[in-house]
Amino acid sequence: MINRREFLETASAGLTVTALGQGVQAQDGSDPLGVRDDFPVVETGTYLNAPYITPSPRTATEAVSQFNNAKARQPVPLGAMLEQKESVRNRFAKLVNASPQEIGFLSATSDGENTIAHALDLKAGDNVVLDELHFSTSYILYRHLEQELGIELRIAKAVAGAVPVTAFEPLVDDRTRLISVAWVAHQNGFLHDVDGLADLAHSKGAYLYADAIQATGMVPIDVQQTPIDCFASGTYKWLLGGYGIAPCFVRESILDRVPPDRRGFLQVKRELPNYQYEFHTGARKLEYATPAFAAFYELGAGLEYLERIGIDRIHAHGVALAQRVRQGLVELGLRPVTPEGNQTAIVAFENPIDSEVATQLFDEANIQLTFREGGRQIRVGAALFNTESDIDIFLETAARLV
């Protein structure tokens, strides 16, 4: 283990980090993606808390501000708001290489899993397989269904911060109806092998669902290449949007097996005589009532921004910074709980001192991050606006934990 002085000398000299296994390196410069002027948060300190809430660029906040101002002066007509919603549907479909027919809008990420669980028509003896790195909603939902329906919840164990496909295999059998994971774990940023999990689920006639809120906008997603059945994602993290809507992908081949679990006017494709209705058949059928329209304006601007910068570039940048964080923590003698070589922008590590003392250290350095597990762990996440200088500042403060 190097001492603090030696570490800081190494950090200030700069580290070369290979990302994505393709020789992508952390870029020098104060603004490698050319985005910092668009993010006011960089003026307030060192923000490494994107896994918690990712700050929006000015274009996104201006879009929602203009919408709200219009509400006070000359409200936007319903038709125009619905057109904006369809524009966002098309943009999000493009982001994940889906058909717009496969994208519906729900209110939150958790809404997606509840919708899918309802569609499965689970019965006593069926089982659902999760893992230890999932979000709490999933445990709450399926424990309730255990008690109410007599299903079995099975949970794959994490080892060294990872849950490989092999950890799921003994738990999946002919009565498994669903494997559900967080595409990227909020605890430590672990990136699941979604392709392998989909193959495992399908080999037993089950489906694969993912909570994708920590993945969309941060890692490339291509549903034409990855055989996932469905996922949902809120938009206030890496998608640079706000609150109140969550895009939900349902693969076209299973759309007829995912019925709406509630009804309302937005599902109507055409009104028929005598109060009869023809309904939408795509994922749009999941939308039933007036949504949070302001969020569609913020998300639309956020998606346009991501398109301009490019998800591949954002991913490479975030991974390179995260690997630099992890390497620096190891050199300091601190213990990461994120696996080595993990391909996301998130790193978590064990906090070796009192959490109040550690909090004060980072507060004094004006660094925003997240304490987890009752203060026993610390999580950081590098967004598109973060730089190597941000990582230097973080690691200099982290050295004071040792």
pLDDT digits (tens, 9 = 90+) for 258-278: 999 899 999 999 999 999 999
Question: Do 375 and 344 share a structural domain?
Answer: yes
Would you state the pLDDT for residue 30? 85
Question: Do 257 and 172 share a structural domain?
Answer: yes
Confidence tier at 375 by pLDDT (50, 70, 90): very high
Q: Phi-psi category of 352—alpha, beta or left, where left has phi over 0 and alpha has psi -120 to 50? A: alpha
Q: What is the CATH number of the domain that holds 210?
A: 3.40.640.10
Rounded to whole angstroms, what are the CA distances from 326 to 109, 322, 343, 344? 29, 6, 12, 12
**Residue 188 in domain:** yes
Q: What is the CATH number of the domain that holds 359?
A: 3.90.1150.10
- The H or E element spanning position 10 is helix 4-13
Structure confidence by residue, pLDDT tens digits, 88-104: 999 999 999 999 999 99
Question: Do 179 and 106 share a structural domain?
Answer: yes
Question: Do 144 and 198 share a structural domain?
Answer: yes
- pLDDT of residue 83 exceeding 90, the answer is yes
Q: Write down which residue in 292, 308, 324 finishes a domain.
A: 308
Question: Do 260 and 320 share a structural domain?
Answer: no
Burial of residue 253 (CB within 10 Å: 0-12, 13-18, 19+) is exposed
Q: Write down which residue in 289, 308, 327 finishes a domain.
A: 308
Question: Do 353 and 287 share a structural domain?
Answer: no
Question: Mean pLDDT across the chain, nearest whole number?
Answer: 92
What is the 8-class DSSP label of residue 28? Answer: P
- pLDDT of residue 5 exceeding 50, the answer is no
- pLDDT of residue 348 exceeding 80, the answer is yes
In one-letter notation, the amino acid at residue 56 is S
Residue 174 is part of which domain span? 60-308
User: 3-state DSSP call for residue 117?
Assistant: helix
Question: Do 381 and 327 share a structural domain?
Answer: yes
Would you state the pLDDT for residue 28? 45
Question: Do 236 and 338 share a structural domain?
Answer: no
Residue 220, CB-side half-sphere exposure with 13 Å CA sphere: 15
Question: Do 320 and 268 share a structural domain?
Answer: no
Would you state the pLDDT for residue 2? 39
State the Cα torsion 163-164-165-169 to the nearest 10°. Answer: -60
What value does the mean pLDDT take over residues 118-123?
95
Q: Write down which residue in 285, 308, 331 finishes a domain.
A: 308
Structure confidence by residue, pLDDT tens digits, 312-329: 999 999 999 999 999 999
* Cα separation, 400 vs 377, whole angstroms: 15
Structure confidence by residue, pLDDT tens digits, 20-72: 333 333 344 589 999 999 999 999 999 999 999 999 999 999 999 999 999 99
Question: Do 258 and 131 share a structural domain?
Answer: yes
What is the 8-class DSSP label of residue 143? Answer: H
- pLDDT of residue 362 exceeding 50, the answer is yes
**Residue 55 in domain:** no
Q: Which two tokens stand for residue 231?
A: 């996922």
**Residue 150 in domain:** yes
Question: Do 301 and 323 share a structural domain?
Answer: no
Give the count of domains, the chain: 2
Would you state the pLDDT for residue 106? 97
Query: Nearest 5 degrees, angle CA 93-CA 94-CA 97?
Result: 80
Q: pTM value?
A: 0.90
- pLDDT of residue 7 exceeding 50, the answer is no
Would you state the pLDDT for residue 354? 96
* Cα separation, 144 vs 151, whole angstroms: 9
Structure confidence by residue, pLDDT tens digits, 208-246: 999 999 999 999 999 999 999 999 999 999 999 999 999
